[in-house]
A and B are shown apart, each in its own frame.
Chain A
Amino acid sequence: MSKTTKKTKTKMSAMAKKEERWAWLFIAAPFVGFLLFMAYPICFAVFASMSKWTGINSLIGNFCGLDNYIALFQDEKFWKSLMTTIIYLIGIPIGMILGLLLAMGMNRKIPGVRVLRTMYYVPVVSSLVAISILWAWVYNYDYGLFNSIIKALTGMHGPNWLGDTFWVKVAMIIFMTWKGLGTSIILYLAGLQNIPRNYYEAALMDGANGWQKFKNITLPLVSPVTFYILITSLIGGFQVFVEVSVMVSNGGTDYSAATVVYYLYDKAFSNGQLGYGCAIAVLLAIIVFIITAFNFKFQDKWVKTMD
């Protein structure tokens, strides 16, 4: 009896060991992936940010400590591009408000609602390069859609959307809002459909009007979605590059359209200052981390759940 038990135990143990090996292998795959594709590049970038590395010269031989960071804090163009990036973020609340309003509209049983949902989602799944080229034409000074409408309505010529230091920012905000609207709508639609109908029915019984229902039921209960959109949009907003690169040449007049990532690319690859580019990347990562952490910290104050 004891012999049989022992044999089973040994057999189980071998199986367990085998399972354990597999388990480790499964764990190892993402872990090795993380080490190779995340941890190593991050450590490399942090080290390179402390070097006058050009890609051609010696990385270690040009170690310069915090010189790149000191230069960065005094770099007018860096602050200018960071400010432009922050200005572009104005599009986030605008997009969220429009997204929620449109999602509420599309949450009703109206004819053609599927077509509308698809239309609003088109920009999200389209190539960013393609839609940027399209919008560059929309903004064209002489032949663009916007200026043609302005001229038809007022008889006056519209602004130089992509060539003027002020209007280029307005143009980019409009474009980014339009581009992100589809995602907001879909997420808000899902959030709205999760709100139980009986909440509204109870409110109706209590004599609540439309605004009160929106303010006290809809808005609080879609706040987790709002939080998610806010976080992802902020992170994405700090990484804007393609649209600036495609729609405006050389960062625009006076570098007025350039974002931080555009400046990073410009420094690292157009001007061969890879170490400095890494310093910009590290600083940007820290800024994004702080903003995200801040948002998570204060989410309790305004994010409500149905629990």
Chain B
Amino acid sequence: MKGKVISAMLCASMLATMLAGCSTTTTEEAGESTTGTEAAASSSSTAELKGEGDKEINILIYAQEHEKVVYQQLIDEFTQAHKDEIKTVNFEVTTQDEYATKMTAAMTANDMPDIFYIGPESVRSYVDNGYALALDDYVDQEAVDNLWPAIKSAYMYDGTNIGSGSLYCLPKDLSCFAFAYNKDLFDEAGLEYPDPENPYTYDEFLEVCKALTKDTDGDGEIDQWGVANANAFGFTPYVYGNGGHFLNEDYTKVVIAENDAFKEAFQFYTDLTLTNQVTPSVEQDTALGGYQRWLDGQIGFYACGTWDVAAFMDDATFPYEWDLCGWPVGPSGDGKSTAWLGTVGFAVSADTEYPELCAELIQALSTDLEGQQALCGETTGKSLQIPNIMDYAQTTFKEKVADGTIPYANNVDVIFGYIEGNDTYNGIFTETTYTYNSEWWDIFLEGMPNVLTGNISVEDYCNEVQPKMQEALDNAIELQNSATN
């Protein structure tokens, strides 16, 4: 009998485990995304909004839970405002991992959603193959003119080049990866805060990191570090800030082995971990990622995406004082601190029966003031992105940040510097934005831990990996130019 009871209890625990498995963990490394939206929603879901008309609109996007709530509200309001026309709006939100699979299935079945996401890297493929509608005749030109130039040009295509021609998307956002520092750790170490007007040089940055790296509990092991690096998103600012690049100017050749600025930045980045030990080791990083360590107050500097701000401003998540600063500037660059920008855009299917209505709806999500007020935190108190509307971002948004209505870091101008560009800051899209896929970049990342552990030198690694990256890039170029429908 006793055995049966224990068996029953074990069965119950099995069931609980199974059910637990059905839910997806949402502990995301903030920076593992390449844009602000890439931290995926916890599960796929569809909301159906009803009107009294006869038009049915299908939307498929990926989003974080809190973004989904805002978008759903905006779509509800749009449906209400157009209830005479609209019968239903099927709003499907999926995870980013599943998004590509679902879109492929939709394209194969010739059953495209009316509204969907396209990243800048996919604009050519979608347009060449007739999946995306040119929006020029359907969107308000004044609103388009008020978008950040970088995100507008990313979605323009003239049949040959990106950056000119018709507009194919309205941006969901323009994100950037700035640098953040923990003020409390600076205070404890008696260090001056970084000057947002003068980002550190490599040497200055190293000195500060050394001062921040310490054994706080006296057990003989380092438990606080100057910075936590994250290869997937925290390496490129060092490279770009030193004038280095992965690819040549027309994105057809991998140049890391012959680009001295690249190798210099890579060496500096490696030495932070390997010789100077001002970051957690590769092994320690596998045990607990930099993002978790940052949230735990173990890290002086860490990358901060525009989508991270709300979390960092929340005392329950990050109970430390913090602010924004620039990424360090390398000796071989143009002296500007450089971060990468990211974006994804709302597109309308070329086959939609209701182009005007769909275009109007994506304007509500992208350029409508009310929507942007919610997404940037003016009406919600949680800033998920910098407003897409330039006028609003540069005036009201900044004022609301200054007066505390929008909880934000004091040095918000750092982010504006990266987005707008000035004498101190520069923002550029990562080079994967210009290639059909990012396989060449993944190949580089795969062996990077071997460099950081000292198993292979920077020079040897660059020489060894470059041909493999080039092969993947050639393949991507071939696919980009492959025959269209």
- Which residues does A use to contact B, with CB under 8 Å? 52, 54-58, 61-62, 76, 111-115, 118-119, 122, 125-131, 133, 140-144, 160, 162-163, 250-251, 253-255, 266, 269-274
Check A62 against B3 for contact (C-beta < 8 Å): no
Q: How many residues of chain B have a CB within 8 Å of chain A?
A: 52
B436 touching A272 by the CB < 8 A rule?
yes
Interface pair B14/A58, CB less than 8 Å apart:
no
CA distance A271 to B100 in the complex (A): 10
* A-B contact number at CB 8 A: 136
For the complex of A and B, 5 pairs with smallest distance between CB atoms:
A127-B21, A130-B21, A61-B483, A142-B287, A55-B104
Contacts of B437 in A (CB 8 A): 270-273
For residue B358, give the distance in angstroms from its CB to the closest CB of chain A: 20
**Roughly how many angstroms separate A251 CA and B13 CA in the complex, as a whole number?**
31
Contact A55 B107 (CB under 8 A): yes
Chain B residues lying within 8 Å of A250, measured Cβ to Cβ, are 442, 445-446
> Do the beta carbons of A114 and B447 come within 8 Å of each other?
no
Residues of the B chain whose Cβ atoms lie less than 8 Å from the Cβ of A160: 282-283, 286
Cβ of A102 to closest chain B Cβ, rounded Å: 16
In chain B, positions 70-106 with a C-beta closer than 8 Å to chain A are 100-101, 103-104
B73 to chain A, nearest CB (A): 31
Give 15 CB contacts A-B under 8 Å: A52-B478, A55-B107, A56-B125, A58-B484, A61-B483, A61-B484, A114-B6, A122-B13, A127-B18, A130-B20, A140-B288, A163-B449, A254-B447, A270-B100, A270-B437
Chain A residues lying within 8 Å of B446, measured Cβ to Cβ, are: 250-251, 253-255
Closest to B475 in A: A273
Once the chains are docked, how many angstroms separate the CA of A251 from the CA of B286? 14
8 Å CB contact of B450 from A126, A254, A271 = A254
Q: How distant is the Cα of A270 from the Cα of B446 in the complex, in angstroms?
A: 15
Q: What is the CA–CA distance of A115 and B284 in the complex, to the nearest angstrom?
A: 38
Q: Min CB distance, A229 to chain B, in Å?
A: 22
Q: How far is the CA of A284 from the CA of B425 in the complex (A)?
A: 50
Closest to A55 in B: B104
B479 within 8 Å of A by Cβ? yes
Residue from B282, B288, B442 in contact with A143 in the complex, judged by beta carbons closer than 8 Å: B288
A251 to B104, CA, bound (A): 23
The answer to whether B283 and A114 touch across the interface, beta carbons within 8 angstroms, is no
Q: Across the two chains, which residue of chain A brings its CB closest to B27?
A: A133
Across the interface, which residues of B come within 8 angstroms of A266, CB to CB?
442
Shortest Cβ gap from A26 to chain B (Å): 29
- Tell whether B395 is near chain A: CB-to-CB under 8 Å: no
Knowing A141-B286, A163-B449 are in contact, say whether A125-B479 is a contact too (CB < 8 A).
Answer: no
Contacts A57-B128, A76-B468, A142-B283 known; 17 new A-B pairs at CB < 8 A: A54-B436, A54-B479, A54-B482, A55-B104, A57-B125, A57-B483, A58-B129, A61-B482, A61-B484, A126-B14, A140-B286, A163-B286, A253-B447, A269-B101, A270-B442, A272-B479, A273-B437
Interface centre among A61, A112, A271 (most CB of B within 10 A): A271
Judge whether B131 is part of the interface by a CB distance below 8 angstroms: yes
Q: Within the complex, what minimum Cβ distance (angstroms) separates B420 from chain A?
A: 33
